[in-house]
Amino acid sequence: MKILTNNCGLKLLSLVLAGIVSAYVVNEVNYPIPEVLHLPLQVRGLAGEMMLVNTVQPSIRVNVRGPFRLIRRLQGIAPQATLNLKDLTEPGNYTVPVQLPDLGQVTITSQQFSDYDVILDRRGQILRQLRIDQLGELSDYFQIGSEVLNPNAVQISGPVSLLETIALAQVEPDLGKLDRRISDKLEPLMERLPVRLYDRDGHLLNQSLIKLEPEQVAYTLTPLPVGSIKVLKVLPEYVGEPAPGYLVDSLSPSVMYVKLDTAVVPEGVFSLSTSPIDVSKRNASFSASASIVYPFKLPPDSQAPQECDVQVEVVPLMAEPGALAVQVELRGRLPGLRYELDAATVDLIPQGESIDSDALREKVQAFIDVSQLATGEYRLSPQLVLPLNVEGARILPPTVTLRISKQDQASNP
């Protein structure tokens, strides 16, 4: 203990002096150090009618030596190196010196490069009519009634040398994909498609230097049945409820469409049902055979299919991120009839862009056209009206049960 307290004043003074010296070294002594700086590389002086064709890298690496604190300050403010193009007014390939900023007491000992190769071209703009190039084809039951593009032309701006190579501006609808969306009433199908540019040799062009207005267009296809044939869609029916926590996601028949002569099919018949498939207490997908129900008499020599296999997809009931609750609207109600839905709303899960604003939500509609339906019980998929930025959507549950009865009859629960 005596050792610690001996000359206590001198020892305390030594600690104070050591602190003062340390603070001086840290705050006042500005010893020189070597360092590497990354300076942003900026293009300046580009004439209004000219544009840079090649890509300029974002920064240049320089080796420097200078006062410690000054270098740390430069790292914080990141002074810019520049490529000055003000004297370049004609298209061509040029080598431009890199102009480094004045770094004061910091000396640049070396740099990544001293000049930079640039390619300049004049800025141009053209208008091209859009062409439709179908991918795949519709099934044998359907043909293309009409195809409409909105808009049917596109404004293209970019380097003149690249614009001169554009031979085609086109959209490429996938008919095989659209065929799976054809409804029993043959309603028009719409989707948004990107515009693709091709040269005279049929090569797809790099569009990174090109601006398209618009970048996507609305494509609408109206399908028609082939010849004098009427095409009826097969809509499988099911009864019962799956196990708790599960739902029927889809029913896919092996026979999706039946072709019949128009003289055989009565007016107002657009689809065929099947004998009901029992899904009671099911907790997994399965396949079942079902009879196709014809609500009219077939000719004796008819070759129309009588049965089909149905793949029933049973999935767990889970909350979907981004799901939107949409009320199901019944359109075309007839006087004197009572309409009852087992589900007044469905969950809509958008594909592509999300529906994340009130304005877009107001454009979403789910409806069932009941104008052609008589009394009875139906299991139907609501039709959707979506905003243009949404490519498609699916709904849960995929079907709802609709009961139609006369007003003076008690509805069955």
Which domain does 351 fall in, by range?
320-413
Residues 369 and 413 in one domain: yes
Q: What is the pLDDT of residue 412?
A: 42
DSSP 15: H
Question: Is 3 part of any domain?
Answer: no
Residues 409 and 324 in one domain: yes
Cα–Cα distance for residue pair 19/196, rounded to 1 Å: 70
Residues 240 and 271 in one domain: yes
Report the CATH number at residue 71.
2.170.120.30
Taking the mean position of all CA atoms in its chain, how far away is CA 377?
37
Residues 330 and 282 in one domain: no
Cα–Cα distance for residue pair 314/277, rounded to 1 Å: 13
Q: What is the pLDDT of residue 312?
A: 92
Cα–Cα distance for residue pair 385/392, rounded to 1 Å: 10
Among residues 219, 135, 184, 188, the alpha carbon closest in space to that of 391 is found at 219
Residues 101 and 136 in one domain: no
Q: Which residues pair with 171 in a beta bridge?
A: 132
- As a three-state string, the secondary structure of 259-286 is EEECCCCCCCCCEEEECCEECCCCCCCE
Q: Under a CB-based contact definition with an 8 Å cutoff, are residues 189 and 221 in contact? A: yes
Sign of CA dihedral 162, 168, 171, 174: negative
Question: Is 18 part of any domain?
Answer: no
Residues 84 and 69 in one domain: yes
Residues 330 and 412 in one domain: yes
Residues 159 and 176 in one domain: yes
Q: Give the C-alpha distances (Å, rounded to integers) separating 370 from 69, 334, 410.
A: 79, 8, 20
Question: Is 11 part of any domain?
Answer: no
Residues 148 and 216 in one domain: yes
For residue 26, report the phi and psi dihedrals to the nearest 5 degrees.
Answer: -70, -45
Q: What is the pLDDT of residue 410?
A: 44
**296, 318, 340 — which closes off a domain?**
318
Total of domains in the chain: 4
Question: In this structure, what token pair is assigned to residue 390?
Answer: 């949404």
Question: In this structure, what token pair is assigned to residue 29?
Answer: 């002594």
User: What per-residue string of b and e applies to 28-48 under the rule 16 or more CB within 10 Å gives b?
Assistant: eeeeeeebebebebeeeebee
Per-10-residue mean pLDDT, the chain, length 413: 63 73 59 88 88 89 90 88 90 93 90 91 89 89 85 90 90 90 80 92 88 91 80 87 82 86 83 92 91 92 92 76 80 87 80 60 82 79 75 76 75 40
Residues 364 and 412 in one domain: yes
Report the CATH number at residue 304.
2.170.120.40
Residues 134 and 221 in one domain: yes
Q: Which residues pair with 33 in a beta bridge?
A: 66
Residues 341 and 388 in one domain: yes
Q: Which amino acid is at 319?
A: A
Question: Is 14 part of any domain?
Answer: no
Question: Is 329 part of any domain?
Answer: yes
Q: What is the pLDDT of residue 196?
A: 94
Query: Tell me: the pLDDT tens digits for 176-200?
Result: 888 888 876 678 889 999 999 999 8
DSSP 319: P
Query: Tell me: the pLDDT tens digits for 248-300?
Result: 878 889 888 888 888 888 887 878 999 999 999 888 899 999 999 999 999 98
